[in-house]
Amino acid sequence: MAKEKNVYFFGDGKAEGDAGMRDVLGGKGANLAEMTNIGIPVPPGFTISTNVCAEYYAKGKKYPAGLEKEILTVLKKLETVMKKKLGDPVDPLLVSVRSGSAVSMPGMMDTILNLGINDKSVKGLAQKSQNPRFAWDAYRRFIQMYGDVVMLVPHEKFESCLANLKKSRKVSEDNDLNAADLEFLVNEYKKLVKAHSKKDFPQDPLEQLWGSINAVLDSWMNERAIKYRQLNDIRNVLGTAVNVQSMVYGNYGNDSGTGVCFSRDPSTGENIFYGEYLMNAQGEDVVAGIRTPQKLSGLVKTNKKVYEQLVGIKNKLENHFRDMQDMEFTIEKGILYILQTRNGKRTGTAAVKIAVDMVNEKLIDKETAVLRVSPAHLDQLLHPMIDLNAQRSARVLSKGLNASPGAACGRIVFTAKDAEDWHKRNEKVLLVRKDTSPEDIGGMAVSEGILTSTGGMTSHAAVVARGMGTPCICGAKGVTVDAKHVSIEGKSFKEGDWLTIDGSSGEVYEGKLPLISRDISKDKDVTAVLKWSDDIRNRAVRGKIKGFQVRTNADQPSDAKRAFDFGADGIGLCRTEHMFFEKEKLIHFRAMIVSDTKEERKNALAKILPLQQNDFFGIFKAMEGRPVTIRLLDPPLHEFVPRDKKEIEELAKYLGIKVKDLMPKIEKLAETNPMLGHRGCRLAVTHPEIYDIQVEAISLAAAECIRNGIPVDPEIMIPIVVTARELKLLRPNAEKIIKMVSEKTKIPLKFKIGTMIEVPRAAIRSGHIAKYADFFSFGTNDLTQTTFAFSRDDSASFLVSYLDQKVLDVDPFKSIDEEGVGFLVAYATREGRAVNPDLKVGICGEHGGDPVTIDFCYRAGLSYVSCSPFRVPLARLAGAHAVLRNPGEGGGKPDVKKTAKKVAKKAAKKAAAAKKTPAGTKGKKTAKSKAAKSAKAKAAKGKAEKPAKAVKVHERTKPKAAGKIKPRAEKKAKSGGNKKKSAGSKKK
């Protein structure tokens, strides 16, 4: 067996890896290789693959055989390229050791700079560079990082050492310390290390190297990395790669520096070059907030040549990766180096703007643009802002950097832990801190907003908050935070006080201001993305099923109208109970349920009929001819029974009988377990008049609409069916009424009649039920309750423990349980369609608005999903993602009608033919672009279908027994910040 390659070199203009090798090299390593290959100035180095990390953990923290030799060999190569040797006392090679896994987890793991320096080589470095200050600065930084990360000396100890020195030297900035000061500091640091770890600081560069590699591998399993993966639902990633890279020095002096930049503004998405830098600084200084970084535009003055070169590289990288890039750079004595590039995390606003702009700039196609905007991004746009009127009259306490948009108000807490504790008590909290660090992400995730007194736009708080979609203000002026108290421009606040922040403007307000949400239906860019999403969904073809619709759950005309404005294709669930519960209707209904005779019951219901007819008319009108699924009465009779004395007296009076005669009738209606009791179509089996008057009201409303020129498409849905015989009995009743109204009004009426599948037995018997149903709608709330035998209302007490202890991966009421409930859905869909090929199938549970469930529904062959009006835009987008991510299901490039194989074949043929066609002819151009297009489609497909060998972000899908359904396609790597609860970090 050939030995597996574990280490990949990059440098001298070429690399052994490339951007496609993320899984093996990690994101950082793969892009360092890619940049090297395309001629970007990257300091040479090598990447130890993620397999090593996987093996390291599999073997109980031992390295794969032969790794040591491999590393020594590649290190030789690096020394040859750099013409320097590690540990050379005269002209030492120094390296950084950097982590980086396939899924970007910025700052969650450790990095060490200036490795290879020791008591001897520091002098060589000082001599060679003619810059002793720089050499001692490099050494003290190395001891600080290595001491912290490898030797586990708390970093505050180094900080206070440094602070003491500055105090005694009477200087305020690190940069004001001279070479002698720093040499002194190195000795102090070494003493500190010795005292703390009982070991001397290691002088052997190879020992340093292995110590650092170890530490980086260990950091894969540190608490904050684990928490980050949990928060972001990152699973089955092999591990971290380790990048060993020759150092370039931003701390040489004032002709050197370091910075972070974005090819477009990550907050607004505007196409402006954006970033921050510091002269005479190294690595982390920019983001650590030790000194306030300068705006990138200032670099034009500092060094125009370098700035222009950076602009060129930014353009090249953006064109190459066809996405907004987040880059790290270092300038060493006027020479520019790029240390990292990745697809930048961005706000929802920026995601939409960048996606649309890049389509207009012909950088990406519409499908890619749609995939670049995640449902979580869109969700952010629905984030509240401060009510304008309230804002005008409110006083701005302070202004800071608008680090993450959206407004938030909450009660002040000062630690991440407090944030979590208060959140558990259902308090809305606003985290107020000097700055944040990776340990704080748990508390940041539960905060409404974050306010820090220090730090820039690339500080930890800013990056994390943007990723999470949490409003955030950084570096707020005049804000001083101490233990449990904050003073804002002289005004004092304590824990628990209310504060409001506007992360879009950077303004801080006292108290609790009213927040309102923004109208995304009027936003041009959002509208464009949603329109493209609709096109993708509408063009999708899965066998006989055309399109993949998004409907809404709406009971009232006002909800229907809102959903319609949000772009709903119809109503998937219109509940009718409110049509009985309303005050003026309830008394009649109550009279009905206590009536003894059919006649009495009919009379009571007749009073409700015109009122219901009005309700239906309003809904039909709002939906302008789109399908409207109306569920006939569902809740248990029990719920209508009058309870208090006043209600009972009222009913007795209405009926003209005595209370004591009414009581026995009421008592008879009591149920021990109403949710499994007399409800749904069981009501119609015992009291057919109920559904009769509902169907009559629907029919009359429809007839009235048609008479007024309003098109209608009602679908009558019968709930809680368990056997085909219920439908066999009830369907003709409904048809009879429709026919009757049609004859009476002389308006032809034809409605679909179908059923909800919300009980396992119904799913199992779906093949029979489909004989009497024109459609199925999965009521997944009840189907989840009845499949699990968990009551949704009572499950909170144990579900948390189930999730904590991994008995369940996700709350089955939030995201569909694909293995159980999903199995039933897929099975019933297949069995139902086998009997009735035209069967329309949809979902109307709360799950219908969950992106993961939407993807499942697409794979399961559902015709539509239905969700609450506010989630309609998200579902439109998520539906398009489902289509694009599951090309095998008829998705992919939706305009490519034929199967991918056929197209690929044809394209290959054409491309071959094109080779023979003389250049410049039209034929060549078309063939080429088509071939390219299909190659791209194939690539997209490959990406989407890539088996989860290394990275698999979501993996909850194995409904194998359901047969025809494929597991959920790979979610694209989340480097675009595509997830609401994602985090960044202090380090960039």
The residues that are catalytic are 460, 844
Residues forming contacts to ligand ADP in the complex (CB under 6 A) are 43, 96, 98, 106-107, 111, 113, 245, 247-248, 283-284, 328, 330, 339-340, 987-988
Residue number with CB closer to ligand ADP (261 or 965): 261
Residues forming contacts to Mg ion in the complex (CB under 5 A) are 99, 109, 111, 340, 988
Of 736, 810, 817, the residue nearest 781 (C-alpha)? 817
| 339 contact choice in ligand ADP, Mg ion, none (CB below 5 to 8 Å, kind-dependent) | ligand ADP
Query: Closest separation between CB of residue 332 and ligand ADP, Å?
Result: 8
Query: Closest separation between CB of residue 114 and ligand ADP, Å?
Result: 8
Query: Closest separation between CB of residue 443 and ligand ADP, Å?
Result: 20
Residue number with CB closer to Mg ion (463 or 508): 463
Residue number with CB closer to ligand ADP (111 or 866): 111
Torsion angles phi and psi, residue 318, rounded to 5: -65, -40
Residue 405: exposure state from Cβ atoms within 10 A (0-12, 13-18, ≥19): buried
Q: For the chain, how many helices (H) and strands (E)? A: 38, 36
Residue number with CB closer to ligand ADP (96 or 780): 96
Query: Closest separation between CB of residue 338 and ligand ADP, Å?
Result: 9
Query: Closest separation between CB of residue 257 and ligand ADP, Å?
Result: 11
Residues sharing a CB contact under 8 Å with residue 691, sequence separation 6 or more, in sequence order: 632, 633, 681, 683, 684, 718, 730, 733, 734
| 284 contact choice in Mg ion, ligand ADP, none (CB below 5 to 8 Å, kind-dependent) | ligand ADP
Question: Is the separation of the CB atoms in 855 and 875 below 8 Å?
Answer: no
3-state SS record for 672-717? CCHHHCCCCHHHHHHCHHHHHHHHHHHHHHHHHHHHCCCCCEEEEE
- Can you say how many angstroms the Cα of residue 726 is from the centroid of all Cα atoms in its chain? 43
Query: Closest separation between CB of residue 285 and ligand ADP, Å?
Result: 8
| 627 contact choice in ligand ADP, Mg ion, none (CB below 5 to 8 Å, kind-dependent) | none
What is the H or E stretch that residue 879 is in?
helix 872-885
Query: Closest separation between CB of residue 437 and ligand ADP, Å?
Result: 12
- Can you say how many angstroms the Cα of residue 617 is from the centroid of all Cα atoms in its chain? 39
Question: Bridge-partner residues for 907, per DSSP?
Answer: none
Query: Closest separation between CB of residue 428 and ligand ADP, Å?
Result: 31
Residue number with CB closer to Mg ion (131 or 330): 330
Residue number with CB closer to ligand ADP (247 or 373): 247
Query: Closest separation between CB of residue 171 and ligand ADP, Å?
Result: 24
- Distance, in Å, from the CA atom of 813 to the CA atom of 8, rounded to the nearest integer, reads 46
Beta-carbon neighbour count of residue 646 at 10 Å? 9
| 879 contact choice in ligand ADP, Mg ion, none (CB below 5 to 8 Å, kind-dependent) | none
- Distance, in Å, from the CA atom of 744 to the CA atom of 710, rounded to the nearest integer, reads 19
Residue number with CB closer to ligand ADP (113 or 501): 113
- Distance, in Å, from the CA atom of 477 to the CA atom of 740, rounded to the nearest integer, reads 74
Residue listed under structure tokens 């905060």:
447
DSSP string, 900-922: HHHHHHHHHHHHHHHHHSPTT-H
Order of strands, sheet of 485-488, starting from the edge strand that comes earlier in the sequence? 479-482, 485-488, 491-494
3-state SS record for 225-257? HHHHHHHCCCECCCCEEEEEEECCCCCCCCCCE
- Distance, in Å, from the CA atom of 507 to the CA atom of 830, rounded to the nearest integer, reads 55
The total number of residues written for the chain in this structure: 988
Of 928, 931, 834, 945, the residue nearest 889 (C-alpha)? 945
For Cα atoms 956, 960, 965, give the angle at the middle one, nearest 5 degrees.
Answer: 85
- Distance, in Å, from the CA atom of 325 to the CA atom of 340, rounded to the nearest integer, reads 10
Query: Closest separation between CB of residue 219 and ligand ADP, Å?
Result: 10
Residue number with CB closer to ligand ADP (98 or 433): 98
- Distance, in Å, from the CA atom of 442 to the CA atom of 241, rounded to the nearest integer, reads 25
Tokens read off for 303:
């060094």
DSSP string, 591-610: HHHT-SSHHHHHHHHHHHHH
